[in-house]
Structure formats: C-alpha cells, structure tokens
C-alpha cells in the first residue's frame, strides 16, 4: 500500500472491498460533525451512533439524519463520552469521534480501562495535512494532548506517529524533530537536545521503522532549498513526512496556521490507545471532520501493526 498522497485516499481505502459501513460512536453533536457524518453515511462508509438523542441531533442538523442511531444521552458530555467508549471497548464500534466537547475529556475517559489502552501507554494527537502545493500529505504531532512532554513522552509520541504512518502505507516514514534551530543548545533550547537524543536513538535502532533526524527548524524539515542554503545534509531535511513539535503550544500554533490561514484540509486522530479517536478542533471544517472520522474508522478496522 503506498503512502497517502491526498486525504481523499482515506475514504477510498475505507470503502475498498468493504460491504457494510463501519460503526463509529460519536459524542458532542454540532453542525459540522453531523454534516461530515451525513456525507459518510450517504457514501456508504459509516454507521454513526450518536451519544445524544435523535431530537437533539436533528434539531442541530436542521433536518432528518437517516442511517444514524442514537443513545439518548443529552446535556452531559462526560456521560455521552463514557457511553461511546464503552461501545468501542466492547467491540460494538470500530472507532470513536468527538464533535464539540472539551478535547482533554477524551484521554481522561480512556485511562484506567485496559480495553481502551495499556496502562503505560502514552496517548498523542496526530494530524495529517494535505499540502497541495507539493502534492503530498504531511503529519504533525502533538498539537493537542501532551502539553510539555518530557523525553520519554516524546519518544512515545514519535513511536505512535511512526506506527500510524506505517499502517497508512509509509514503509519508513521520515521524522523531523523540530526546534527553532538545527544547532544543539541545551541551556537555552532544551528541545534541541531532546531532538538530538531521539535522533540518535533512531540511528541506533532503538526506535525502528523510520528515518529520524533532529533538531531541525521547520523550514529545513520541509524545504530542500532551505536545507541546502543552510548547508544541512540529512536524509530527512526537505522531505519530512512527520513533524514532531516540542510542546503543545508550538504544535497548536502550527496546526491552526495550516488550518485557518493556509486553509489546508486535515485529518486528525488520537493514537496510542487500542481504539482510534477522531479528534478535531472545534472550529475545524466539516470537510476536515469528515476526513478525520474516516481516518479513525480506517485505523480501527485495520490489523494492528508495530512500528518495528
């Protein structure tokens, strides 16, 4: 399977060879997520089960929602999320998706349930952006969950991203660990030394399944011309598949610049657990939410793989 070239490849792969729609449990009904789900239902991709009631969802959507099911949990996001997670944990749903709820409720609902995640697992946010100018898809992590990850957490975030990318067709994804500069400066820029350590771990095979380098500034990671101008020789520079940010603040800024200034379509998921969760920004478009839910469903129906 080749890597994703465009986000439209996600629903195509979800549909390929599949006779029945995939069940997804959804909490946080709002207009864009309902529009995204209605599109997926019309294409025969998904069977959404909404945490909220039919009356509530159809009032928000402004019309009937054929092909949907409803659990009837209105007015309590935590209770609705718990019901959705129970569906996923019991095998009744392949994935979970969120609409307009507080994002950090999601990992809280998963922790402590070994049906949803291993006790020592690290959950992380992973977003795929379609960069149309260069004709490929680029992943960014972590823009939502791990606020100030330490070195061990960053290693787990990298492994989560590699494992997901390999499931989606990247045989050996190229991972760039971002900092403000490609120069290591522990005292003034600790992210640069973390990046260097993780890159060395990759070089020695401690993080298999990918080509890893860092620290790299953002321009060096995505622009071969910028890397050449700065005299940087690296198998990742200019052609990174995955960008690993140093903390949630920088990741969230990159995510929102790409989504709301560059208007790039995206697919965003929570990974690292046993159940994938479509986890978009509350202001993301219906198109991006469509791709995100389809991606979570696709990951939830694929045989699990390691990043080794």
| pLDDT value at residue 80 | 96
The 10 Å Cβ neighbour count of residue 281 is 20
| pLDDT value at residue 288 | 96
Q: Inform me whether the pLDDT recorded for 72 exceeds 90.
A: yes
Q: Could you tell me what percentage of the chain is helix, strand and coil, using 3-state DSSP and rounding each to the nearest 5?
A: 40, 20, 45
State the average pLDDT over residues 66-94: 96
Reading the block at residue 306, the tokens are: 């390691």
| pLDDT value at residue 307 | 41
State the average pLDDT over residues 263-288: 94
pTM across the whole model: 0.94
State the average pLDDT over residues 64-88: 96
Contact 278, 268 (CB under 8 A): yes
| pLDDT value at residue 306 | 41
Q: 3-class DSSP state for residue 219?
A: helix
Distance CA 3, CA 21 (A): 23
**Model confidence pLDDT, tens digit, residues 97-122:** 999 898 889 999 999 999 999 988 99
Burial of 90 (0-12, 13-18, 19+ CB in 10 A): exposed
Domains of the chain and CATH, by start: 9-173+241-300 (3.40.718.10)
**Model confidence pLDDT, tens digit, residues 11-42:** 999 999 888 999 999 999 999 999 999 999 99
The 10 Å Cβ neighbour count of residue 118 is 10
Contact 95, 276 (CB under 8 A): yes
Nearest CA among 44, 244, 219 for reference residue 164? 244
| pLDDT value at residue 119 | 86
Reading the block at residue 32, the tokens are: 């864009």
Q: Inform me whether the pLDDT recorded for 134 exceeds 60.
A: yes
Percentage of residues of the chain with pLDDT beyond 70 = 98
Provide the 8-state DSSP code for 304. P
Contact 272, 144 (CB under 8 A): no
State the average pLDDT over residues 206-210: 97
Distance CA 302, CA 291 (A): 17
Percentage of residues of the chain with pLDDT beyond 90 = 84
Distance CA 56, CA 65 (A): 11
Distance CA 236, CA 220 (A): 9
**Model confidence pLDDT, tens digit, residues 160-193:** 999 999 999 999 999 999 998 888 887 788 899 9
| pLDDT value at residue 304 | 62
Side-chain half-sphere exposure of 94, counting CA atoms within 13 A: 21
State the average pLDDT over residues 186-210: 93
| pLDDT value at residue 308 | 44
**Model confidence pLDDT, tens digit, residues 293-308:** 999 999 999 876 444 4
Residue ranges of the alpha helices (H) in 63-189?
Answer: 77-89, 105-110, 151-167
| pLDDT value at residue 286 | 95
């Amino acid at each position: 399977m080749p890597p994703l070239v465009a986000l439209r490849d996600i629903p195509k792969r979800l549909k390929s060879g599949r006779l029945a729609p995939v069940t997804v449990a959804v909490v946080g009904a709002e207009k864009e997520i309902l529009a995204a789900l209605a599109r997926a239902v019309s294409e025969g991709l998904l069977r959404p089960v909404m945490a909220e009631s039919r009356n509530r969802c159809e009032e928000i959507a402004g019309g009937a929602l054929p092909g949907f099911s409803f659990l009837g949990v209105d007015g309590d996001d935590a209770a609705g999320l718990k019901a959705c997670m129970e569906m996923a944990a019991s095998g009744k749903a392949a994935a979970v998706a969120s609409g307009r709820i507080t994002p950090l409720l999601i990992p809280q609902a998963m922790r402590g349930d070994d049906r949803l995640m291993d006790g020592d697992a690290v959950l992380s946010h992973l977003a795929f952006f379609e960069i149309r100018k260069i004709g490929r898809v680029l992943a960014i992590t972590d823009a939502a969950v791990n606020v100030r990850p330490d070195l061990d957490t960053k290693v787990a975030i990298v492994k989560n991203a590699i494992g997901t990318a390999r499931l989606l067709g990247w045989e050996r994804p190229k991972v760039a660990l971002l900092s403000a500069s490609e120069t290591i400066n522990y005292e003034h820029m600790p992210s640069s030394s973390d990046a260097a350590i993780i890159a060395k771990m990759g070089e020695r095979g401690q993080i298999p399944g990918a080509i890893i380098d860092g620290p790299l500034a953002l321009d060096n990671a995505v622009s071969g011309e910028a890397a050449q101008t700065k005299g940087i020789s690296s198998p990742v520079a200019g052609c990174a598949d995955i960008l690993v940010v140093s903390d949630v603040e920088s990741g969230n800024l990159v995510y929102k610049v790409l989504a709301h200034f560059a208007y790039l379509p995206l697919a965003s998921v929570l990974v690292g657990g046993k159940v994938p969760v479509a986890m978009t920004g509350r202001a993301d478009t219906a198109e991006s939410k469509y791709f995100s839910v389809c991606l979570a469903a696709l990951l939830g129906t694929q045989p699990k793989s390691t990043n080794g």
